Structure 1
Amino acid sequence: MMMNNHLNTPHLRILLIKLRHHGDMLLTTPVINSLRQRWPDAQIDVLLYEETRDMLAAHPAIGKIYGIDRKWKQLGTRKHLQKEWQLLKTLRAQHYHLVINLADQWRSAFVTRFTGAPVRLGFAFNKRDSAFWRFCHTQLVPVANHKTLHTVEQNLSILAPLPVPPLPVVTMSYSAQDWQTAREKLTARGVDDHYVVIQPTSRWFFKCWDEEKMAQTIAALRQDGHTVVLTAGPDKKELAMIDRILAASPQDGVVSLAGELTLRQLAALIDHARLFIGVDSVPMHMAAALQTPCVALFGPSKLTFWSPWQVNGEVIWAGDYGPLPDPDAVDTHTKERYLDAIPVDAVVAAARRYL
């Protein structure tokens, strides 16, 4: 009852904390959307790692985004501590009523406690079974069933103690300017409104498919008359992979915007595409969120946790074509390409079903 008293205020202020990678941030949006549906006038702020800001920056339900910049460490101890202290003071000054800590780091618990919010929810992670973790939160939500839940469902389970019906919808937001920029880049390369986006890269190369097979898939799509737009992150290894695919692909009707788009511009590009083909990476989750027809290639990732949520399309799993290692046993720096068991015709057939 006490909890509801704190939340029955006309000017409800909420802070959501998640300190993870880009894809993780996108999959927090169902929690944000649920809170917004329940409390249309609440102030909903987010604390995240600065480099992931783009994932949530255009979300209409979010008020302010506070970033922890991992580059602060390079400023030297004194300046670094000043930045951290300034952030803590700023958050405390917001007088939040509710803090939802989706993160598992000690610092997230400390920040949660320091806000002084009367309602502070966190997860009862096994590795955080300590008096300090309990002290930092007013209530801990069990995680016993998380092993069988998708990441979206895991995140939404934090709402169990609240009078908030879960809204299991992932949203990737971008601005009109983001689409305008992407559209201009397409026009400059002679691409009209009918195109297929292919993102063959991931920051983990063991999640990627063979370049030659990707080029054969592109050739089949070109034969069907489709224009193909290749995308990738700005990393040198990813760009080199795109170059290898381009060299083996047809020379006309295949263009690259690799390394040229922000994440929100990439979202706009994917949103307007006829089809998205990609591996287990952030753009795949964006395509699923945007409901762009999607063919997702998966290797030894935990499908239960990371398959594209509510995807308009299909997942092609390498495990259906050959043995895969346990996801927990994979050396992330391996040169092994676990997706290579997937045949070209399976991907081309799936793509044709959606074009």
Structure 2
Amino acid sequence: MYSRAFTSRHLQISAIVLCDNDMLENLPACLLSLANQTRPPDEILVITLNAVAEFAARISHVSLRIPLRHLESPAPNFCAARLLAVQEAQGDWAAFTLGDCKPFPDWIGRIEAAACEGGEAVGGPVESTGEIPQPWWWHPGMTTLVGLQPTEDATKKSSTVPYALLSNWAAVRALLQKEPLLETAAQEGEDVRADSRLWRLLRHQGRRVVFNCDIRVQRSISPNRLKFIALLRNAWADGRAHQRYQPEWTFLQSAMDEFLAFPFHFVLGIWSGPVSPWREATWHIVCLWRQIAQWRECIHQKGFWLGALAFFYAFVIRLVFATSVCAIRLLRKIGIFLLRVIRPRRSPTPTERRILIAASGYLGETVLLHPLLTGLRSSRPDAHIALLTNKFGEAVFRHDPAINQLLLLSRDNKTVKNLIRNFRPDLILVPYFRKYSPAPLYSVRRARVVTFGRNTGFSSQWWCDRADKRLPKPEGQHETVHLGRLFTEAGFKGRITESPLGFLPEEMEAVDDTLKSRGLDAGNFVLLAPGTHSENKRWLVDRWAKIVRHLVREYHLIPVFTGAAAEEEYCRAIAALSGVQCDIECQLSIREMTLWISHARLLVCADNGPKHLAVFMDTPSLTLFGPSDERQWGALHNPRRHCVVRGCTWDLTPEERVGLPPDHQMQCISTEQVIRALDEMLGEE
């Protein structure tokens, strides 16, 4: 739950143009494009670098209906110019571009729309004005080195988060005024990666930063910037800046990996690439030069002799590691190839009536299978369905009518293999398989095995590659949608619906009696489940204690803690710090916990299994999300009843995580955010 920066549809936006001598020729076109915006800026501020004398002559014939101011940068670098612009601009937002750029006609309008939707910093791609006069050795990967970005959204094609460039960047001006990073970069005179550093810092702070492909500008690329020497110079500066801003050895090792893989990538690029061998060679030379600059900066930081020795040691370690990884991958590929020769992939047949669901996941993952099993039974009433599962699945699906047979996993592979062979499956679906050996799943020669290509919990990639079919897991889709695609292989059809879990009457009566003996009923207690199997999903103890006090003081609710037995100490620490009399129920079985959740007025929890139980029991819930994506693991239906609080974006890259504590994303969630969300939920009730 991000706080909205502005809600007004009309903001005060200052368009800021940074310009050096090389950009003066294109400056009039840039100013005209700003003046002709469908939503014009409230002012235009031009900051020049050593170009005061020529500025007036260049824009003398330009007629603008918008207030225009001109200032000279105190230092000849873009960081100092940007700092001056933030100090002198008058608008709520500062929208940056360069003098050789032409924003699209709706540039300011789209920035304002992103701001009104809750954004605090936005950016977009930078395209070339017309065709780039490409040299014969030009490679598409070199566009970033000349100040361009591809127009397609990089998040759809890789896990890398795209960073906005200075030529197409906008942010809340008051937010930038508070950042000492701007002043530090201006003093250092460092332009390379300064924008990515600021973008990353705002993401660390939990600010709402958005890369929008519709916020576009066009940039004129001069022939001087396309010279090979200029590209090498930019690559060298980029490599040094990368290591200077991230001095840890983490990314130096990745640069070593790229260097060691250079011959293989080069040969592969020539063999299968769409460009000529000479272009491929030029591109790899540029990448290699950037990595060498990174190594040089690392040795310089640590001193020559110490840095050289450390570098040599790290290089040997990475060489051995890279060689072993390549050898293992090669052997796996050869093994899979020989296996396919002996045993080709099986295709689906109409006779697949005996279906085995192999699901050994965490509690939340197991609960998500419930609507799919119910839907599969409705779609295939003639099928014989068995569930091979762990203790979580046994507890959740003990009396589920959709399952004909429940098979319990054990550590003995021979026992599990006999269970599978006795069932004689025609089709084996594997949504999750954690902490158990997958070898028994492939013991039935006639069974077709279908699983996901990643995040299944297999002990090694070998078992995933052996499957007859591997399904992708696109980002941004709910996990239930992924499972629906898997169950379609068994004949599942129709809409995915969330229905309550089934319980016997005597189970419900026992829980009712227990609640009455404790003085609890459906309206006077709130369940808290702060524990989780991952340390990076846990919130701070003192903040949980403040939430407990707020629930008791403002709503007179009885706080009851629940969770696994291993989480009891964590819950007791919260209860002790709150100073409130709390009930600790961490010895409940999963079925008892589910019934307790169904009677609670509200569940407040981290991203864990009880959250999914609350969704299926239709109990209102408030979940604190950190490193996991609520689009995948939140409630599929009725999001207003199952609210989400988030303090920091979930998709921090490995580069962004360097130097951060494991629970940084949870630490970004403030107590005020959670209290505000609780007041909204309980106030509506």
Which interval holds the TM-score relative to the shorter structure? 0.7 to 0.9
Task: After TM superposition, give the deviation of residue 24 of structure 1 in Å.
Answer: 1.7
Separation in 2, partners of 1:129, 1:245: 40
Whether the 8 Å CA contact 1:101–1:108 is kept in 2: the answer is no
Secondary structure at 1:153 match in 2: helix
Deviation at residue 48 of structure 1 after TM alignment: 1.9
- After superposition, the C-alpha distances for 1:156-203 in whole angstroms (9 at most, x for unaligned) are 112344543154235544443443343333333222332211112112
Deviation at 1:277, TM superposition (A): 0.8
Aligned equivalent of 1:150: 478
Q: Distance in 2 between matches of 1:176 and 1:63?
A: 21
Residues 129 and 230 of structure 1: CA distance in aligned 2, closer, same or farther (over 3 Å): closer
Unaligned runs of 5+ in 1: 73-79
Give the superposed CA RMSD.
3.4
Amino acid at match of 2:355: I
What residue number does 2:360 align with? Answer: 19
What TM-score comes out, normalization by structure 2 length? 0.43
Select 2:419's aligned residue among 68, 90, 94.
90
Match of 1:342 among 666, 669, 674: 669
Measured in 1, the distance between the counterparts of 2:362 and 2:498 equals 16
Alignment of 1:60-139 (within 5 A): 60-69=401-410, 72=411, 80=412, 84-103=413-432, 110-117=439-446, 119-124=448-453, 137=468
The answer for the alignment partner of 1:76 in structure 2 is none
Match of 2:552 among 208, 222, 238: 222
Q: C-alpha displacement at 1:354, in angstroms?
A: 2.9
Give the structure, 1 or 2, with the largest relative contact order (CA under 8 Å, sep 6 or more). 1
d(CA) in 2 for partners of 1:124, 1:341: 32
Match of 1:249 among 565, 575, 578: 578
Could you tell me how far 1:155 is from its partner in structure 2?
1.6
Q: Verify the 8 A CA contact 1:230 1:242 in the aligned structure 2.
A: yes
> Cα distance 1:4–1:325, how it changes in 2: closer, same or farther (>3 A)?
closer
After superposition, what is the alpha-carbon deviation per residue over 1:297-332, rounded to whole angstroms, capped at 9, x for unaligned? 111223333224335321001217xx984489879x
Point out where structure 2 has 5 or more consecutive residues left out of the alignment: 1-346
Q: Name the % identity.
A: 19
What SS does the corresponding residue of 2:360 show, helix, strand or coil?
coil
Match of 2:161 in 1: none
- Tell me the secondary structure at the aligned position of residue 373 of structure 2: helix
Q: Structure 2 vs 1, CA of residues 202 and 174 (structure 1 numbering), >3 Å: closer, same or farther?
A: farther
Is 1:289 aligned to residue 616 of structure 2?
yes
Evaluate the alpha carbon distance shift between residue 347 and residue 148 of structure 1 in structure 2; reply closer, same or farther with a 3 A threshold.
Answer: closer
Structure 2 equivalent of residue 5 of structure 1:
350
> Distance in 1 between the 2:583 and 2:434 partners?
41
TM-score by length of 1: 0.78
CA shift in 2, pair 1:244/1:287, >3 Å: same
| 1:273-308 alpha-carbon deviations (Å, 9 max, x no partner) | 111111011111111222211111111223333224
Amino acid at match of 2:521: D
1:234, CA displacement in angstroms? Answer: 0.4
Distance 2:451 2:493 in 1: 18
Q: 1:117 to 1:180 in 2, by over 3 A?
A: farther
Say if 1:109 and 1:193 are closer, same or farther in 2 by CA, change over 3 A. closer
Supply the AA of the counterpart residue of 1:40: P
Residue equivalent to 1:77: none
- Tell me if the contact between 1:182 and 1:266 (Cα under 8 Å) persists in the aligned partners: no
- Secondary structure of residue in 1 paired with 2:408: strand
2:539 match: secondary structure: coil
Aligned partner of 1:58: which letter?
A: H
Separation (CA, whole Å) in 2 of partners of 1:60 and 1:204: 33
Q: How many residues align?
A: 326
> Any conservation in 2 of the 1:202–1:279 contact (CA below 8 Å)?
yes
Give the conservation status (yes or no) of the 8 Å contact 2:380–2:491: no
Letter in 2 for 1:218: V
- CA-to-aligned-CA distance 1:95-115 (integer Å, 9 cap, x gap): 334322324689876544433
Larger radius of gyration: 2
Is residue 201 from structure 1 mapped to residue 514 from structure 2 by the alignment?
no
User: AA paired with 1:214?
Assistant: W
Note closer, same or farther for the CA distance 1:313–1:134 as it changes in structure 2 (3 Å cut): closer
Deviation of 1:116 after TM superposition, in Å, equals: 4.8
Distance change >3 Å, CA 162–CA 54, structure 1 → 2: closer
Change (3 A) 1:13 1:201: same
